[in-house]
Amino acid sequence: MLSDKKIQDVEFKAAAIRETVIEMLAAAGSGHTAGPLGMADIFAALYFHILNHDPSNPGWEERDRLILSNGHITPVRYAAMAHAGYFPIEECLTLRKFGSRLQGHPEREKLPGVETTSGPLGSGLGQAAGYALGARMDRKSFRVYCLMSDGEQDSGNTWESAMFAANNKLSGLTAVIDRNNIQINGVTEQVMPLENLRSKYEAFNWHVLEVDGHNIRAFADAVDEAKAITEKPTVIIAHTIPGKGVKEIEFDYRWHGVPPGKGPDDKVPADKQAEVFLRELRTLHE
């Protein structure tokens, strides 16, 4: 059960994850900012409440599998993993450095606890469906979670995978779409309109839920409902604010693929961005 105290604890973790994301991106001098900040609450809920996992034994056979399809937001995954105890938090500052385990897109063979190498958008749902089917064939009880961006719903292989998962009634699969309404070159509904996204997945015979992606209780309840669905896969459309927690970044697609120090400077000078954003996050969560 999610007590009020547990929710506060997860919210605290989300705040810490956001700060780490800014620190690691500023140190790297490259990477994506808006998406990782927007998904911090969901990653905190996954790693500190939902997932059945063991940071001290990343290869545990019965662990839940978390597939990150939109690999460009991996700083938030690395930050969540570090705070959960998979590796020292200080290692986050090696993001994108030569020889680092923390590459700009996750690499399965470099970092224990990362299930797939990702980057090419649209590939994750098919990989997750394969994991879920394999679990059924092997009579395993672990669940598979696939995190996707809304922008990658433009990819045709996403919908091939959606058909495959529904056809095989993969109820052990829960997909989560980060519905933040931005992609690298603009607003999703201007680049390639996605709505009505709910109706599309329902037409593909998925169980569809929509939640506020910053409401940890609502997200956890949606995951619990997904576990109760036995005849089809579930997709949770999580409405999030890109850049959540930093008002100068929120809703601004220009921050999709740039780090503090190299972002738009019409609100904060580039050389002050990391300092200002960290101060804002710490003040917000005091």
pLDDT string in tens for the chain (286-residue length)? 789 999 999 999 999 999 999 999 999 999 999 999 999 999 999 999 999 999 999 999 999 999 999 999 999 999 999 999 999 999 999 999 999 999 999 999 999 999 999 988 999 999 999 999 999 999 999 999 999 999 999 999 999 999 999 999 999 999 999 999 999 889 999 999 999 999 999 999 999 999 999 999 999 999 999 999 999 999 999 999 999 999 999 999 999 999 999 999 999 999 999 999 999 999 876 6
Q: Which CATH number fits domain 4-284: 3.40.50.2020, 3.40.50.970, 3.40.50.300, 3.30.70.980?
A: 3.40.50.970
Query: What is the distance between the terminal CA atoms of the chain, rounded to a whole angstrom?
Result: 26
Cis peptide bond upstream of 52, omega within 30: no
Q: What is the mean pLDDT of the chain?
A: 96
Looking only at the bridges linking them, the beta strands covering 186-187 and 182-183 are: antiparallel
Contact criterion met (CB below 8 Å) for 142 and 63: yes
pTM of the model: 0.97
Question: pLDDT for 118-131, tens place per residue?
Answer: 988 999 999 999 99
Q: How far is CA 238 from CA 14, 57, 68, 150, in A?
A: 16, 29, 15, 10
- The pLDDT, as a whole number, for residue 13 is 98
- Which stretches of the chain are assigned E, i.e. beta strand? 65-68, 144-149, 173-179, 182-183, 186-187, 207-212, 234-239
Question: 246 with 234: CB under 8 angstroms?
Answer: no
224: tokens are: 């619990």
Q: Where are the domains of the chain?
A: 4-284
Sign of CA dihedral 54, 57, 63, 68: positive
